[in-house]
Chain A
Amino acid sequence: MSDSLFDKTGNATWAQCPSCDYWFHVAPALLALETVDLICPDCAKPFAPADAKALIGK
């Protein structure tokens, strides 16, 4: 993460479903809860944030 006020860094956090590999847009506030399952919008599988195949931007 850059300290520059002028670098464009974006604000989106992404999770990848461990079941179907689908990438979807997740709020940091949801990931921070840890106890609430994410739900894949593509295959509907619920999974803990720790079980995401990958997370970007957390």
Chain B
Amino acid sequence: MTDLRSYLNEIDNAIFRPDQPVSVVQEITALQHVMAAKSANPAIFVRQPKLADGSISDMPVLTNLFASRDLAAKALGIDDHRESAKAMANLSASAIDPIVVDAADAPVREIVEEGAAANLLSLPALRQHDGDAGHYVTCGHVVTYDPDTGIDNMGIQRLWVRGEKLLGCYMLETSHNMLNLRKFWAKGEPCPVAIWVGHHPAVEMGAQAKLGYPESHWDVAGGALGEALRLVPSITHGDKIMVPADAEIVIEGFLPPNRIEAEGPFAEFSGYQGPQIPNPVVEVTCITRRSDAIYHDCGSGLADHLVPDNMGMEGAIYNLARQVSPSLINVHVPVSGRRFQAYLQFKDPKPGEARDAMMAAISFRRLKAVYAFDDDINIFDDREAMWAIATRVQWHRDLMKLDGLTLAPLDPSAPATGRTITKAAIDATLPPAPKPGQPKPVAPRNRVSDDALAAAEAVLDGIDMTGWPS
């Protein structure tokens, strides 16, 4: 059985476990901020989460699980995180159908709290940032289904814990869960929902693959895991909504028709606060969990939040751009650009090809800018990307602006009115060589020999550099 705890055993030396109580009110998130500033990205396992009332929760909190690209890629079985674009692009091809197991064989059913017993306040949900509306479930995979086809959908959505049995639920108008909800509401019916928290990170990343509508995520999540996902019917909705048998926690309920309430503000992926907005609510009917459940939190706006989704974007963008550009070799959606920028990398693109590829990539809705780089630039190092932009771009020639494209959601710089924006494509590739094998018609870059580099590495081998000027 492959689940969150089997994964935690695998990465035991990559987990920071503070001994002392740490408050769910901003302190756990502050740990993530402080570590990120020091470029340290271990998973964080808080044995003693201190709740808002000062008591200590019995349920530990796990966060920062996805902050390291290296760890996130390895969870998917990718040895090198720089290969994630191609791996994520092919995720759908390796789908594995889920299997259904007995409730008696489902760890997530060890404890079942229905009706009056169901209490969201028993979860150590974090109040992450200053100005957040309250405590949020940040790693809840929200499952609904299309009433026309019965096909389920799944997406991570922020969930505001508003009481023992009430959640505010952020749903983008264009999300597939919102399409399902609208269909139920059009019939005057509540939309059934189940929300699962905590599983092997490959399942969580596979669940976020960018799919069509209606299209189930279970088989892609199983493919990411490398084995069939074990599912069990939910208590409230039976086999209409299945949930992972090996999850840590499942919250079930309904989104009552046309009940729209204020939700947020909430510190978002952009690094800025998302405003209070109108959203549906979930009325909770049942919570099931493991007897020793681990509560999985995701630090909003931190690498923990961005890395898995950005890797999914890399796969989707690779698929878009590769269709028009065989010389495209890689894609990186850097955490520094949140979800607004993508770096495309080419090996000897033909004249115009980098631009063609950027035109295809820029159609990805969240992007505001795409950049084209050569294969000598490490697109996983922003310093090299900025160097290439500074030294290979002539702005009259290499900057393309495209007007009237779809607005990126939650862009803090978006126009106050209007529904479209101008996007940019920047070609930072070098001009091609006159003939294959000849040097490109540009000045060569500074370099030292491989022998000299190896000698320098040998000099520094084993030297402790902590305390040296940064």
Binding site for B on A (CB under 8 A): 9-13, 15, 24-30, 33, 36-39, 41, 44, 46, 57
Contact = CB atoms under 8 A, between A and B. Distances in A.
Contacts of B260: 33, 36
Nearest to A1: B416
Interface residue SS majority, chain B:
loop
Given A24-B265, A38-B262, A39-B276, 19 more contacts: A11-B412, A11-B414, A13-B275, A24-B276, A25-B273, A25-B274, A25-B275, A27-B276, A27-B277, A27-B278, A30-B275, A33-B260, A33-B278, A36-B262, A36-B278, A37-B261, A37-B262, A41-B133, A46-B262
Contacts of A12: 275, 412
A15 B424 CA distance: 33
Taking residues whose C-beta sits less than 8 angstroms from the other chain, chain B's interface range is 20 to 34
Give chain A's interface secondary structure class.
Answer: mixed
B276 A41 contact: yes
Contact of B278 (A11, A29, A41, A57): A29
Contacts, number: 60
A41 B415 contact: no
Interface string B112-146: 00000000000000000001111000000000000
A12 B132 CA distance: 16
A26 B107 CA distance: 41
A25 B134 CA distance: 14
Contacts of B416: 9-11, 28, 57
Nearest to A12: B275
A15 B277 CA distance: 12
B73 to A, nearest CB: 35
A35 B37 CA distance: 43
A30 B415 CA distance: 17
Given A39-B262, A41-B132, A26 B276 contact: yes
Nearest to A47: B262
Contact of B133 (A9, A33, A39): A39
B277 A29 contact: yes
Nearest to A57: B416
The 3 A-B pairs at the shortest CB distance, nearest first, are namely: A11-B416, A27-B275, A25-B275
Interface string B407-420: 00000111110000
